[in-house]
């Protein structure tokens, strides 16, 4: 049952949003058109409500060491203001969640978890941190999260009134200079009309963009200011449907589709996210070092023809009709104009250029194994 509402729920309803149940939350799936919202993010900018995500603080003198033990990446190597994509593994090396960890101070880290897993992540982190001088606080109810994504995202933020840096910036930059120079996977503390915010140059769309953490009390005013500032840049509200096709085109995994507790990171193409070079033990290390069975399926990209899209859990078959895998995510790509999918298949059929068949409601449709991601944004100089 969906009984949790975003602090922006009334704003979405007034904008004509259609809602869906997502991890126990009522969240906008679309406002007008999935395609129009997707196109806006690729060509201009879209604004997303991500307040359903989990935010967990890990603080204390042993916080960095605790996170090194708790997750797959070397969190202690982060400098304040840096962020890292990482994985929370179980003892068998399977993925309990994929996370972004921001180092917001010398002994202070913000862990962002998927909505469905926030409670699990908080509990696991508490258990794993108990041997260290660190405390874990689940602050999910005290944080709203708004994302502005797209090639004009920076322009939207620079045009938004009310942003400032707390106490100035060490090198004398103002907020416009600081946001303009903020690099990918970096974060910057500031405020919006006196309310504390954290600007992060991160996202889940394959485009440039920002995610802004703010108190729920200030979320409506911030959303309104961003929408007003974004009007000249064709900013539109975007829902979960557009977010899903955007991340699929960008080859970004979604927990519960490409990632789960039975799948090792290397199977999902995320072996690089596990730092076996860091000193000491971490949860799942022995299983990761052992690796999956030789016949374990691996994640691939699939490109189809025509307009019929593969969907999650559709069977993937070889030339003889034998099942060799399953689709995890699929759609007709709004940007590219042809069907795309991610799927787990047997290693024998994972090579680029291999032709497989996806069973779409009883009919075999040819798909070509193709590299991920399907789409890469053009980098500006």
- Alpha carbon distance 1, 175 (integer Å): 42
Least reliable range by pLDDT among 104-113, 166-175, 279-288:
166-175
> Looking at residue 378, what is its pLDDT?
78
- Alpha carbon distance 4, 237 (integer Å): 20
> Looking at residue 1, what is its pLDDT?
46
Contact between 147 and 50 under an 8 Å Cβ cutoff? The reply is yes
Q: What CATH code is assigned to 295-371? A: 2.40.30.110
For all residues of the chain together, what is the average pLDDT? 96
Q: Give residues with Cβ within 8 angstroms of 130, minimum separation 6.
A: none
Indicate the domain borders of the chain: 4-49+143-248, 54-125, 295-371
Residues 228-260 pLDDT 10s:
999 999 999 999 999 999 999 999 999 999 999
With pLDDT > 70 as the criterion, what percentage of the chain qualifies?
A: 97
Strand order in the sheet with 25-30: 4-5, 25-30, 18-22
Least reliable range by pLDDT among 126-135, 206-215, 372-381:
372-381
* pLDDT at residue 170 tops 70: no
How confident is residue 381, by pLDDT bands cut at 50, 70 and 90? Answer: very low
How confident is residue 166, by pLDDT bands cut at 50, 70 and 90? Answer: confident
* pLDDT at residue 3 tops 50: yes
When pLDDT is averaged across residues 320-337 and rounded to a whole number, the result is 98
* pLDDT at residue 96 tops 50: yes
When pLDDT is averaged across residues 110-123 and rounded to a whole number, the result is 98
When pLDDT is averaged across residues 335-340 and rounded to a whole number, the result is 98
DSSP for 67-128 reads: HHHHSSS-GGGPPTTBEEEEEEE-TTS-EEEEEEEEEEETTEEEEEE-GGGHHHHHHHHHHH
Q: What CATH code is assigned to 4-49+143-248? A: 3.30.1360.120
When pLDDT is averaged across residues 288-307 and rounded to a whole number, the result is 97
| Cα angle for residues 323, 328, 331 (degrees, 5° grid) | 110
CA 109 from chain centre, in angstroms, equals 18
Q: Which residue has the tokens 């999902």?
A: 268
Local structure of residue 33 (DSSP, 8 states): -
> Looking at residue 153, what is its pLDDT?
98
Identify which of 206, 346, 371 has the alpha carbon closest to the alpha carbon of residue 267: 346
Strand order in the sheet with 95-105: 83-89, 95-105, 108-113, 54-59, 135-138
Query: Phi first, then psi: what are they for 100, rounded to 5°?
Result: -120, 130
- Calculate the CA dihedral of residues 62, 67, 68, 74 and round it to 10 degrees: -120
When pLDDT is averaged across residues 275-290 and rounded to a whole number, the result is 97
Total-model pTM: 0.96
- Alpha carbon distance 28, 283 (integer Å): 36
Residues 151-162 pLDDT 10s:
999 999 999 999
Rama region for 176: left / alpha / beta (φ>0; ψ in -120 to 50; rest) = alpha
| Cα angle for residues 94, 100, 103 (degrees, 5° grid) | 130
* pLDDT at residue 343 tops 80: yes
**Residue 177: Cβ within 10 Å count:** 14
Q: Show the tokens assigned to 291.
A: 């690796």
When pLDDT is averaged across residues 174-178 and rounded to a whole number, the result is 95
* pLDDT at residue 193 tops 50: yes
Helices (H), the chain: 9-14, 34-43, 63-70, 118-129, 153-158, 175-181, 216-230, 240-249, 285-290
Q: Show the tokens assigned to 65.
A: 């060491």
Query: Phi first, then psi: what are they for 181, rounded to 5°?
Result: -95, -5
Q: What CATH code is assigned to 54-125? A: 3.30.70.1400
């Amino acid at each position: 049952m969906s009984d949790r509402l975003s602090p922006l729920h009334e704003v979405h309803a007034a904008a004509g949003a259609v809602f869906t149940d997502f991890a126990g939350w009522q969240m906008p799936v679309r406002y007008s058109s999935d395609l129009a919202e997707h196109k806006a993010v690729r060509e201009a900018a879209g604004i997303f409500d991500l307040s359903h995500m989990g935010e967990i603080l890990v603080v204390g003198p042993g916080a960095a060491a605790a996170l090194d033990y708790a997750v797959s990446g070397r969190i202690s190597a982060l400098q304040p203001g840096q962020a890292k994509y990482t994985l929370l593994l179980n003892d068998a090396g399977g993925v309990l969640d994929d996370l972004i960890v921001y180092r917001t101070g010398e002994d202070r880290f913000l862990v962002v978890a998927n909505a469905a897993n926030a409670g699990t992540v908080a509990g696991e982190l508490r258990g794993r941190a108990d041997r260290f001088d660190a405390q874990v606080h689940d602050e999910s109810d005290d944080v709203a999260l708004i994302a502005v994504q797209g090639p004009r995202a920076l322009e939207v933020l620079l045009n938004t009134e009310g942003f400032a840096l707390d106490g100035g910036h060490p090198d004398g930059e103002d907020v416009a200079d600081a946001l303009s120079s903020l690099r990918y996977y970096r974060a910057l503390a500031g405020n919006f009309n006196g309310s504390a915010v954290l600007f992060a140059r991160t996202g889940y769309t394959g485009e440039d963009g920002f995610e802004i953490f703010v108190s729920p009390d200030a979320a409506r005013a911030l959303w309104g200011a961003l929408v007003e500032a974004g009007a000249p840049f064709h900013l539109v509200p975007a829902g979960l449907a557009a977010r899903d096709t955007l991340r699929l085109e960008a080859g970004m995994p979604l927990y519960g589709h490409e990632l789960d507790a039975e799948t090792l990171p290397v199977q999902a193409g995320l072996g690089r996210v596990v730092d076996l070079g860091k000193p000491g033990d971490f949860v799942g290390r022995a299983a990761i070092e052992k690796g999956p069975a030789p016949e374990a399926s691996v994640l691939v990209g699939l490109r189809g023809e025509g307009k019929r899209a593969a969907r999650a859990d559709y069977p993937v078959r070889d030339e003889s009709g034998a099942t060799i895998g399953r689709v995890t995510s699929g759609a007709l790509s709004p940007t590219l104009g042809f069907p795309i999918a991610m799927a787990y298949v047997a290693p024998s059929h994972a090579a680029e250029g291999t032709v497989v068949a996806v069973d779409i409601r009883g009919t075999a449709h040819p798909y070509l194994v193709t590299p991920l991601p399907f789409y890469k944004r053009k980098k500006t100089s």
